[in-house]
Each structure stands twice: as structure tokens, then as C-alpha cells.
Structure 1
Amino acid sequence: MKPLIVLLLTFTISLFAIKLIKKEYHFALSARVAMSTMLVFTAIGHFIFTKGMSMMIPEYIPFRENFVYLTGIFEILLAIGLLIPGLKVISRWTLIIFFLLMLPANIYASINNVNYQKGTFDGNGLAYLWFRIPLQTLFIIWVYISTIRI
């Protein structure tokens, strides 16, 4: 829920800030600024909640904590890429693939009741997916629409 709030709040603020500066609305730019901010916000979680996030990865995958750090860095790089005109298309496709690849980790975490913030097994369980899957879908659509030429 927090990433969605960050996304929508940042979109609204940047939309009006850009309107004040450039004297016109730039919806796609505001959407990219919002997605970039949300990605940095979630990337920070990779460094704060490393133990819990590593619990979202099956035990048979080695170096789980390193993988969590790596994906946090990856999110920050993609956030920057969305804001650089020459990199926004490659960032779009990379993010879409990234969001799709993160879905199995979210499913695994739900099945195992992982609470990534506490690093425990008392999370919301499968009910979490009723919110997370539509949210992932929104992120994918958001990234795609904000990076195409209209």
C-alpha cells in the first residue's frame, strides 16, 4: 500500500510542480518522476528489510541476501534510467520484465506468510496477493504508458 501512496502522491505533486515551472502539464514526465520516486522508496526497503526480503526467496536459491541488495541497486538504476530520455525505453522493458520476475517471490512470500518488515512468518498470507497482483499490473501499465510517445 505504501508504494501506491508514494506513486500517486509524487505524481500529483510533480504534475503541479512541472505545470508551475513549464506552464503546461506533462503527464508522462510526471508519471516517470513518480515511478522513479516509488522505485527508490522500495529500493530503500531492500536495505532496511534485507532479512525479511530474503525470506521471500526460496531457500534453494543461494546468496539470497546478496540478491536482495542487488535488486535494490537495480531498482535505483532503473529509476534513474526512466528519467534519462535516451534510456527510458530500455528502462521500460527492463522494469516490465523485473516486475514480472518479482511476482513469483510475492507468491512464495504469500504462501509462506512472510512478513518482510518483521522478518517473521506471520504475514498476511494469500490475501496479500489480492492486492499485490493488481498493484504489479498497475506498475507495468504505468511504466509502459509513461514511456511511449503519444
Structure 2
Amino acid sequence: MQTLIIYCFGAFLGVIISWLFKTDNMLLTAAQFSIFISFLYTFMGRLIPAVRESLIQMVPAIFPFPKFIVYATGMIELLIAIGIFFPSTQSIASIAGILICIVLFPANIKAFKQNIHLGTKPPTNIYVRLFVQCLFIASFILIAVFNCCF
């Protein structure tokens, strides 16, 4: 639920910034800021030891080196968050963002099924998490389409 609130805050911030700075497209700016704030938030969670340990537990057992996977996906999330602001990297950042949303979703399923807390917070309801993932993917599609077509 927290990620949904962060996403909405980012979208609101994007609308305000678009309005203040008269950007070309308010919807694009809202999508960029919602992704930026959300992915920065999830990246920063890896810097908190209790959250990092929870994320390591969420990695499905079939994958070796769960600690490395958590660090690597965090760096990818950071690069995606930054990349969506630059026209030359928006498409690749959007594609990477869609892929990471799909690839990381099984970890969310595992956390929900096994009641793995994220630090001290209980796991997000899987249907809420699915909704958030769909919002992320829709935002990435919007960013990619605007980069390609406008």
C-alpha cells in the first residue's frame, strides 16, 4: 500500500511541476515523476538493513546469490528512475522497467504467501501489488510511446 501512496505522490508532484514549469505534456511529466519517486523509494529500501534482509528472503529459492540479486535489481531500479527523464534513454528505461516489474513480481507473490514482512511492515496484499505493478507498466508504456511518437 505504501508504494501506491508513493506512486500517487509522484504523479501529483509531476502534475505540479508540469503546471509550474509549463511542460509540453502534463501526463508524461506525471508518469515520469511517479516512476522516479517510486523506484527511488524502492531503491532506498535496500539501504535499510531490515528491509534488505526481507528482500533477500523474498528471492525465490531457485535463484543463487539472493543478496547479489537484491543489490543488482536495486541498481537497475535506480538507473531506470534516472533514465526515464532523458529522451535518449527513455525507451530503453521503459522497456527495462516493464521487464523488471514482470521479473520481480514472483518475489512479491512469495512475500505475500509466506508472510515475509518488509522490515517491520507486513507484505502488501497481492491484489494491491498487482494493481501497482500495472500502474508502473502503464506509466512505462506512456513514457515509451511519448518518446517514440512525439
TM-score norm. by structure 2 comes to 0.85
2:17 and 2:29 map into 1 onto residues whose CA distance is 11
1:43 aligns with: 43
Pairwise CA distance, 1:24: 6.4
1:146 aligns with: 143
Q: Which AA in structure 1 matches 2:132?
A: L
Match of 2:111 among 85, 109, 112: 109
Q: Which AA in structure 2 matches 1:46?
A: R
Q: Which AA in structure 1 matches 2:125?
A: Y
Identify unmatched segments of 5+ residues in structure 2: none
8 A contact 1:10–1:37 mirrored in 2: yes
8 A contact 1:6–1:38 mirrored in 2: yes
- How big is each residue's C-alpha offset from its partner over 1:67-98, in whole Å with a ceiling of 9 and x where there is no partner? 11111111000111101111001111111011
- How big is each residue's C-alpha offset from its partner over 1:12-64, in whole Å with a ceiling of 9 and x where there is no partner? 12222232222765220232122112110111112211101101013342221
8 A contact 1:55–1:116 mirrored in 2: no
1:89 and 1:37 map into 2 onto residues whose CA distance is 18
Identify unmatched segments of 5+ residues in structure 1: none
1:88 and 1:28 map into 2 onto residues whose CA distance is 11
Instruction: Calculate percent identity across the aligned residue pairs.
Output: 25
8 A contact 2:56–2:70 mirrored in 1: yes
1:100 aligns with: 102
In the alignment, does 2:133 pair up with 1:136? Answer: yes
TM-score norm. by structure 1 comes to 0.85
1:4 aligns with: 4
Pairwise CA distance, 1:104: 1.0
Alignment of 1:44-59 (within 5 A): 44-48=44-48, 49-59=51-61
1:20 and 1:110 map into 2 onto residues whose CA distance is 40
Which protein has the larger Cα radius of gyration, Structure 1 or Structure 2?
Answer: 1
Q: After the TM superposition, which parts of structure 1 deviate over 6 Å for at least 4 consecutive aligned residues?
A: none
Pairwise CA distance, 1:135: 1.5
Instruction: Give aligned pairs, total.
Output: 145
